Structures are given as structure tokens and as C-alpha cells.
Structure 1
Amino acid sequence: MNISDSHIGHRARLRERFLKNGRSSLADYELLELLLSYAIPRKDTKLIAKELIATFGNFAAVFDQPAEKLQTLSGIGPSVATFLISIRAVMTRYLEQKAERADAISSPEDVADFVRLAIGASQRECLMVLCLNAANRLVHHEILVEGTVDQAPVYPREIFRPALLHNATAMILVHNHPSGRAIPSEQDQYMTQRIDSLASEFNIVLHDHLIVCPSQAYSIKTGRLL
């Protein structure tokens, strides 16, 4: 459906409301509609926005989807799917650099949003390490391994390699649960205790081990399992 004059006026009013009053003035579907208007300039995007949210459950979940799932909906082709995926990449890069610029990482909340966006929605289990210096500033981070849907093979030498290469004095481990439940398993607890024990041999402190999914982050330290 090509956009009509009335829809052009509606789109202009939507943009004006957003610029004047911010995101809180728009419903979830309206904010998504506004975003989609830049990727689909010649069509009404309201119905597409509503269908995306209805299909995937909520606004945030739309940006957790891989391209192939997005393209199952009418009106979403490769370019629009790429546009939606790129928004998540932009948000991740923003939070990544915000964490890098922070004076210090003092709690799980300081990095939780970044790591949730980085690996929380992955369909495979990933293990990530954050390396900190003596001032608890983030000096390096990387995804060490990507495994199957329920397991990422872990080798201690790989976990400590980036910390040693970047002269880190502390680190935070992060892995995701593709099941969508950020609850530590017995294996998670065992691995955390093992890495914590080995870390002292390298004069490195394991500050925490976070388990993440798209909407949750669980701190093993806060849960007193470390």
C-alpha cells in the first residue's frame, strides 16, 4: 500500500510529537512505526509495526530476532530486516563505549545492559570475558567461544588468555542462556568456583560471573554463589 497524503500528515505529526515530547509520548507500536518510516518511506508502517510486536511479544523482542524470522512477516524484506538488526548493533555499540568510558565498573548493573545486548539474545550459548585494570576500568572484552544451544565448551587457558594479554588485574565472566532463563545451573556454579580458584594463580580477581538472556541478568556474586 503506497502512502497517502493523510498518512504523510500522520507521519509528520508523529515525528513532531517525538521531537517535542520524547519517546514517552509514543506507544511502543508508534515508536516502531516511526523507525520503520525511515526504512519504508513510501508505505504506511503502522500495521507492520503492530504485527511485529504482536508476533514477537513486545517492542524489545522485535530487535532480538534474526533476519530470517523478521522476513517471515509481510512487508519485511532483506533491507528492512537489516535495518532492524542494525538498530540493535547501534544500541550495543553505544552501551559498549559507555562502559569503556566509565570511571570504574563497581557493580553488575554497570555492564548488565551492554552484555545483555551483546550476547543475551544469541540462539547459541556464548562465553564472554570483560577485562579490568587496577582501577576497575574496562580495558578489553571479547566473546571467547560460541557453542551449541545449551553448551559452550570452556577451557581455562582460553578464559585467562585475554586478561593476561591486556595486563588485566580483574575480570568478569558472562554467558547467556538461550532458554531465556537467567538461572545458574550446577555446572555454572562449578565452573565459576573453578575459575575463581585458578585466577589467584595469575594474580587476577574474578569479580563476578553474569548469566544473561534478553530481559534478565543474574549475578552469581550477588546471589552469593561466588
Structure 2
Amino acid sequence: MADAAETAAEQKGAVTPDDKSGHRARLRDRLLTAGRDSMADHELVEYLLTLAIPRRDTKPLAKALLREFGGIGPLFAADAESLKRVPGMGDTSAAAIRIVQATLLRVLHGEVKARPVLGNWQGLLDYLRADMAHRLNECVHVLHLDSRNQLLRDEIVSEGSIDQSAIYVREVVRRALDLGSAAIILVHNHPSGDPTPSKQDIAITRDIADACKRLGISLHDHVIIGRNGHVSLRSQGLI
């Protein structure tokens, strides 16, 4: 069954097929010859949407999406249900947006797995920011590392409300033992955008560090990700 929202929106197009094809061709040629820096954010989104909604002028929708989510980063991190709440968006167009985020994370995750994490710290931060910086709810990851500091697993251990997510010391340590992890890195995001650690962040980090140490597991770091940057609790001397 055709996506009703997208089909209805296509039928309201205000430009002729010739106008649309000519404009899209110009966008395509500019992208291929001059590169991504030659295009504004709304033009990148617009061209992506043309691949999902071929019979529609997608410029107004691209601009509406950027306004709704506050920029291209938050847009590509948005979940499908949030995307589909924007008038004119349906399953096909939401999937087009989501595939960009999925592809980016797949590439960055592959780069993280290819090298020891501690020797590729910037690559790890790039991956974490792409995955977590624009999330609307707090989410906690544990990165499990082997004895060579290669990434074994990146697991979500908790997803909470807009400003709270629980981390259970016993569950984190038990999972590390199950996987044979030599070390772990805790990561969570602050939806407020400010990555400054709270007293609770510091306390739970120290509890986990103590529990891990007794079992011969290293807690390398606890990284807090926000839209405005990141904070490493180890670099702050808090572990």
C-alpha cells in the first residue's frame, strides 16, 4: 500500500515535472562536480528526499525538517516516529533519513573495531557523538574491550527519560565477566546538551570502578556526550 502521507503531498506539488527534473539535475551536478561543501544543508536533505519521493518538490519539506529538528545533525539522529510526525513525511521518506544515520554509524563503528580503542580515541569520540549527541533521551552504553583494547561489544544497558537513566553496578560487572572483558568504557549522553558530569555520574562511576577492580577488570573511562561537546571523567581526574 502506498504511503498515504507522501502520496497526498506529492499530489500537491507546486512545480511542473520539467521544473523539478531540471532543478534536481542541477543539484546532482553540483554535488558530483563541486562536492558537498557547495550545497546548503537544506539542499542535501532536499536531494536525498527526491530519491524517496520522486514526484514531489522536496525543498519545502527539507526546510521544514531542519526547522523542526534544529539542524542537520539532530535531523539525521531523529527516530522514525518523530520524523513521521512532520506533515508530508511517511515510511519511505523517514527510511531515507534513517539510512543515512545507519550508514554513518556502520562506517564509524567499523573504524573503531579495526584498531585498539585507546590508540584511536578520536575515532571513538566521532562514533559516540554521531550515535548519541542528538538523542532526546538519556542512554547508557558499555563498551567491552579485550586484553588488546579491541572492541568486543558496544551494548546499550539502559535507556531512560529525558534526563535520567539507571546504571546497575552488578549488571555491568556481570556482563563484563560473561564476555570475558579485560576492560570497559562507560558512555552516556546528556540530552540537555551540557556534558558536565553530575554528582550521581561521578558516584556511580566510582562504584563501578571499585567493583571492576576487585575482579581484575579495568574501567578505562566514563565519557559523557552532549551536543556541546564531551567530558572524560578520567581526564578530569574523577576516576
TM-score by length of 2: 0.85
Q: Match of 1:52, SS? A: helix
Q: Is this contact kept in 2: 1:150–1:177, CA < 8 A?
A: yes
1:70 aligns with 2:49: no
AA paired with 2:194? Answer: R
- Of residues 153, 162, 171, the one that matches 1:158 is 171
Work out the percentage of aligned pairs sharing the same amino acid: 38
Match of 2:5 in 1: none
Match of residue 184 from structure 1? 197
Q: In structure 1, what residue type is equivalent to 2:186?
A: L
Q: Distance in 1 between matches of 2:132 and 2:95?
A: 18
Q: Which deviates the most, 128-137 or 106-115?
A: 106-115
Q: Within the alignment, does 1:31 sit opposite 2:44 as a pair? A: yes
Equivalent in the alignment of 1:56: 69
CA–CA distance in structure 2, aligned partners of residues 210 and 130 of structure 1: 11
In 2, Cα distance between equivalents of 1:104 and 1:84: 29
- 2-structure distance, mates of 1:66, 1:140: 23
Question: How far is the alpha carbon of 1:214 from its aligned partner?
Answer: 4.4
C-alpha distance 119-60 of structure 1, shift in aligned 2 (>3 A): closer
The counterpart of 1:201, out of the listed 214, 226, 232, is 214
- 1:93 match: secondary structure: helix
Q: Which residue of 1 aligns with 2:154?
A: 141
SS at match of 1:5: helix
- Count of residues paired in the alignment: 226
CA distance in 2, matches of 1:184, 1:107: 23
- Contact persistence 1:64–1:214 (CA under 8 A): no
Q: Is the 8 A contact 2:111 2:123 kept in 1?
A: no
Structure 1 unmatched ranges of 5 or more:
none
State the Cα distance separating 1:128 from its structure 2 match.
Answer: 0.8
Q: Do residues 210 (structure 1) and 223 (structure 2) align?
A: yes
- Deviations along 1:78-97, whole A, 9 cap, x unmatched? 32123212321222222112
- Which has the larger displacement, 131-140 or 161-170? 161-170
Equivalent position of 1:84 in the other structure:
97
Q: Residue in 1 aligned with 2:143?
A: 130
Does the aligned pair in 1 maintain the 2:160–2:166 contact within 8 Å? Answer: yes
Q: Which amino acid letter does the alignment assign opposite residue 207 of structure 1?
A: H
RMSD: 2.0
> Is the 1:105–1:138 contact (alpha carbons within 8 Å) kept by the matching residues of 2?
no
1:89-141 residue CA offsets vs partner (Å, 9 max, x unmatched): 22222211221112443364231222233344333322211111222211112
Distance 1:191 1:103, change over 3 A: closer
8 Å Cα contact 2:77-2:131 kept in structure 1: no
Report the counterpart of residue 6 of structure 2 in structure 1: none
Further displaced range: 98-107 or 205-214: 98-107
Q: Which residue identity lines up with residue 26 of structure 1 in the other structure?
A: M
1:106 matched to 2:142: no
